[in-house]
């Protein structure tokens, strides 16, 4: 059984002015998500600025989220690293804390061959019992998990169950699903590709858009799951201008501005990320208004 179907939010991490995690506001964001139809929470991923957290802080945020959600919906912890030992360590702690699964990005900077990816993800799978979703985002990592590698991992390890696909390459995704013959749980990693990904067998999305539009993102996915792709397509089209604005600068710069616009005190970004450019922020505000969020 899949960890979740529908819209999983790649949740942002609110910070105080001094740069520390704002747990009070983080709880508000968690409750906002659950109250508005989010199907799962993915904590400490790219959108959560995990790359700027110490291991201790990273796992404190994961534990806080797991405890506050309290099994109402699945919580998937981002535990990937370009160091296999670190990824194993974080994944084991997430399992101890009660995570429903982990999201593991392919190694970045040092990268890996396909054989290296098999060994890296295999080591994580052998260290834990909870489900693992691979995360393929070559634009950030410089490392592409090829379809054959994904399928081999999902067949070889019972707890490697699927992939967050942010390749933007629908031909590669289709090839993977053709090879998989049902053994790969596929999630879109791009908010502008929810319907195309679900049309080739995806179960939903791991979404940035869901931070500010959880119900709407859920609805796009649900229409696909119901087989109503005509309505899903219209909902996807309606969201495209806002999605474009949410990615006008590197994620999560725009979405933290968007959260502020709806009254969530997302706070500052951690360097090297900086505040959104005023011109881009003005466009984002306009699209938020058009979409009915403010």
Contacts of 22 (CB under 8 A, 6+ apart): 14, 15, 16, 265, 267
- Burial (Cβ within 10 Å: 0-12, 13-18, ≥19) of residue 262: middle
Contacts of 99 (CB under 8 A, 6+ apart): 62, 66, 75, 76, 77, 130
164 catalytic? Reply is yes
Q: What angle do CA 207, 213, 216 make, to 5 degrees?
A: 90
Positive or negative, the CA dihedral 152, 155, 157, 163 is: positive
- Assign residue 270 a region: left if phi > 0, alpha if psi is -120 to 50, beta otherwise? beta
Read off the tokens for 68: 């506050």
135 catalytic? Reply is yes
**Residue whose entry in the numeric block shows the structure tokens 């967050």:** 164
d(CA 30, CA 9): 10
d(CA 57, CA 78): 13
C-beta atoms surrounding 87 within 10 Å: 22
Active-site position among 5, 63, 152, 164: 164
Active-site position among 135, 152, 223, 291: 135
- Report, as residue numbers or ranges, the catalytic residues: 135, 164
């Amino acid at each position: 059984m899949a960890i979740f179907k529908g819209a999983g939010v790649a949740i942002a991490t609110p910070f105080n002015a001094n740069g520390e995690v704002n747990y009070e506001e983080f709880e508000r964001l968690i409750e906002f998500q659950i109250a508005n139809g989010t199907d799962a929470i993915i904590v400490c991923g790219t959108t959560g600025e995990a790359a700027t957290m110490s291991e201790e802080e990273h796992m404190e945020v994961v534990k806080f989220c797991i405890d506050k959600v309290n099994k109402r919906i699945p919580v998937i912890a981002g535990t990937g690293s370009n160091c296999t030992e670190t990824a194993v360590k974080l994944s084991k702690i997430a399992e101890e804390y009660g995570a429903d699964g982990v999201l593991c990005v392919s190694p970045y900077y040092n990268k890996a061959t396909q054989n290296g990816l098999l060994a890296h993800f295999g080591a994580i799978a052998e260290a834990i019992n909870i489900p693992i979703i691979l995360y393929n985002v070559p634009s950030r990592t410089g490392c592409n998990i090829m379809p054959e590698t994904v399928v081999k991992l999902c067949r070889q390890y019972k707890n490697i169950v699927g992939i967050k696909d942010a390749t933007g390459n629908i031909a590669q995704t289709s090839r993977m699903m053709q090879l998989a013959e049902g053994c790969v749980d596929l999630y879109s990693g791009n908010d502008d590709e929810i319907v195309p990904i679900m049309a080739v067998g995806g179960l939903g999305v791991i979404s940035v858009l869901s931070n500010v539009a959880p119900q709407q993102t859920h609805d796009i996915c649900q229409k696909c799951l119901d087989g109503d792709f005509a309505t899903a397509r219209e909902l996807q089209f309606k969201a495209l201008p806002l999605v474009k604005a949410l990615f006008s600068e590197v994620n999560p710069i725009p979405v933290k501005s968007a959260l502020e616009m709806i009254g969530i005190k997302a706070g500052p970004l951690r360097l090297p990320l900086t505040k959104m450019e005023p011109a881009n922020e003005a466009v984002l505000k306009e699209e938020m208004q058009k979409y009915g969020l403010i």
